Amino acid sequence: MQKRTSWLLLALVSLFMVTSCDSKAVYDEYKSVPNKWHKDSVASFNFKAPDTIKNYNLYVNLRNTNDYKFSNLFLIVELNYPNGKAVKDTLEYKMAAPNGELLGTGFSDIKENKLWYRGYKSPFKFSETGDYNVNIQHAMRKNGDVNGVVNLEGITDIGFRVENAQE
C-alpha cells in the first residue's frame, strides 16, 4: 500500500511540474504538415482574446527536420480582428547558422523554433474582445525564381502561441 501511495504522489507531483512549467501560455496550438508545405496551404488558428488590458507576446512556432534546405524562412502572417480589421505581414526568420546547422531546440532530427510575431518591440494588447484568427503560409523562393517554392520540404508542424508578457 505504501508503494502505491508513493507512486501516486510521484505521479501527481510530476503532473503538476509539467503543467506549471508553461504557466505563461494563454493559447498554444499546432497544425501538422503532411509531407510538404504547399505554397497555397494556409495554417489557420482561431482563439478568443484573453484580455484587453494585459500585455502579450505572440509567436509563430515551427518544427522542422534536416530536410529543410534553406538558411531563412519567409512567412505571410495575417492577424484578423473581431471587427474585420486585418493586418498582413511578410516576415523573414533566420533558420540556420552560417555553418549550415539548423537553429532551434531539440536533440533529435526535429528542431523546434519559437519565432517572434508581436510583442518584441512594444507590448501587444488585444484591442478588441472576441474571436481572433491568424493565418500563416510560407512565401519561400529560390534565388532568381519568381514563382517561388511550390512544396516546401522539412517543415513538419506550424503553430501559433500567445503568452502573458512579463510585466
Percent of the chain scoring above 70 in pLDDT: 86
2-24: pLDDT as tens digits: 544 444 444 434 444 444 456 78
Q: pTM for the complete prediction?
A: 0.83
- 39 within a domain of the structure (yes/no): yes
- 8 within a domain of the structure (yes/no): no
- 104 within a domain of the structure (yes/no): yes
Q: What does the pLDDT read at residue 157? A: 97
Q: What does the pLDDT read at residue 167? A: 66
Q: What does the pLDDT read at residue 123? A: 85
Give me the domain span that covers residue 134: 26-164
Q: What does the pLDDT read at residue 152? A: 96
- 16 within a domain of the structure (yes/no): no
Domain count, the chain: 1
Contacts of 113 (CB under 8 A, 6+ apart): 61, 62, 63, 64, 93, 95, 103, 104, 105
- 70 within a domain of the structure (yes/no): yes
Most confident of 12-26, 44-58, 134-148: 44-58
- 4 within a domain of the structure (yes/no): no
69-127: pLDDT as tens digits: 999 999 999 999 999 999 999 999 999 999 988 899 988 889 999 999 999 988 899 99
CA distance 139 to 118: 19
- Closest to 63 in 3D by CA, of 158, 152, 164: 158
| Cell output for 73 | 524562412
- 136 within a domain of the structure (yes/no): yes
| Residue indicated by cell numbers 504557466 | 23
Cβ neighbourhood burial of 62 (10 Å; 0-12, 13-18, 19+): buried
Q: What is the CATH number of the domain that holds 71?
A: 2.60.120
- Angle, alpha carbons 24-26-28 (nearest 5°): 100
Q: What does the pLDDT read at residue 14? A: 42
Q: Give the Cβ contact number of residue 118 at 10 Å.
A: 19
- 19 within a domain of the structure (yes/no): no
